[in-house]
Amino acid sequence: MSQRRYQARRSGDRVMADGLAGAADEAAAPLLASDEPPVVDLQDSAGGPFVFLCEHASNRLPKALGDLGLPAEALTRHIAWDPGAAAMTLGLAARLGGPAILQSYSRLVIDCNREPGLPDAITTLSEDTAIPGNQDLGPDARQQRVDAIWAPFHAAIDELVEARIAAGKPSVIVTLHSFTSVYRGVSRPWHVGIISSGERSFAEAMLSALRRDPALVVGDDEPYSARDNVDYTIRRHGFDRGLPHVMIEVRNDLVESATDVAAWVERLGDALLESAAALGLSPAQED
């Protein structure tokens, strides 16, 4: 997959790499063309105390990276994104009100829920799949992905949350994820996992609410926890500001259909409202 293809852009005389990243000359070209979707997909609406975030909403790759050397089948799997997470995020924002910020590109480009300096921020091996287009990236190519995708996503959240704080609005930082039912050959029993960073009050309220349903297997800091460095977003935008926060992971075989997603939006929405009320946050505060 080292073959490099070149594709003329609309501008006619400009030619940009459309193959694998890594060469110094490619890092100098923009990662995202002007006709590609913006990194930040902000769905803003008035409403309650929740700010909904989704770092792994999409499996889209920038055209400049081609297919990262992967077969199309690999790009539909969970290694590229969290199936169902975007639909839950938008569903909850629509039901409960409040803004949603979704990231428009695959986590294989750069994982927006990681410190960018960590090795797995731009993963070279996801579960058992090597990512050819991420091998041997130089510092310029890595920095380009940070600058083009990671930084603007978090800057948009900073701006939104700081504006809410300045306006005296309460904010609960809620991130939506989905996890694969079998990881490295091991089946995962949980239907949903609740994860926090540094401070557990909102997560504990969510655990209490969800565990009243005896049919649900609810994981506490499962299938991941802050010890696995999966808490970047809730730490930066929640804990570091002293804001209540929760990372919600739903097993992705449970959110494959629109009907299933709607059921989880109901279930999670009820738990979020109950938890906000338990912490004294107004669920119906309007602009």
- What does the binding site for Zn ion look like in residue numbers (CB under 5 A)? 56, 82, 177
Separation of alpha carbons 184 and 189, rounded Å: 14
Both tokens of 133, joined, read 């287009």
Which residue lies nearer to Zn ion by CB, 148 or 230? 230
Which residue lies nearer to Zn ion by CB, 17 or 74? 74
Which residue lies nearer to Zn ion by CB, 145 or 177? 177
Examine residue 139 and say whether the peptide bond preceding it is cis (omega within 30 degrees of 0): no
Helix (H) or strand (E) holding 175: strand 172-179
Separation of alpha carbons 183 and 220, rounded Å: 18
The residue number with the shortest CB distance to Zn ion is: 177
Both tokens of 135, joined, read 């091998």
Shortest distance (Å) from residue 120 CB to Zn ion: 12
Separation of alpha carbons 105 and 58, rounded Å: 5
Shortest distance (Å) from residue 179 CB to Zn ion: 7
Shortest distance (Å) from residue 177 CB to Zn ion: 3
Shortest distance (Å) from residue 175 CB to Zn ion: 8
Shortest distance (Å) from residue 136 CB to Zn ion: 26
Which residue lies nearer to Zn ion by CB, 81 or 239? 81
Shortest distance (Å) from residue 238 CB to Zn ion: 16
Beta strands in 10-128 (DSSP E): 15-17, 40-43, 50-54, 100-103, 125-126
Shortest distance (Å) from residue 113 CB to Zn ion: 6
Both tokens of 67, joined, read 């297919």
Which residue lies nearer to Zn ion by CB, 147 or 228? 228
Helix (H) or strand (E) holding 266: helix 258-278
Go through 119-136 and write b for each residue having 16 or more CB atoms within 10 A of its CB, e for each that does not: eebbbeebeeeebbbbee
**Which residue pairs from 260-267 have beta carbons closer than 8 angstroms and sit at least 24 positions apart in sequence?**
260/84, 261/84, 261/87, 261/88, 261/91, 262/91, 264/84, 264/88, 264/91, 265/88, 265/91, 265/92, 265/95, 266/95, 267/210, 267/213
Beta bridge partners of 248: 176, 194
Which residue lies nearer to Zn ion by CB, 49 or 84? 84
Which residue lies nearer to Zn ion by CB, 85 or 160? 85
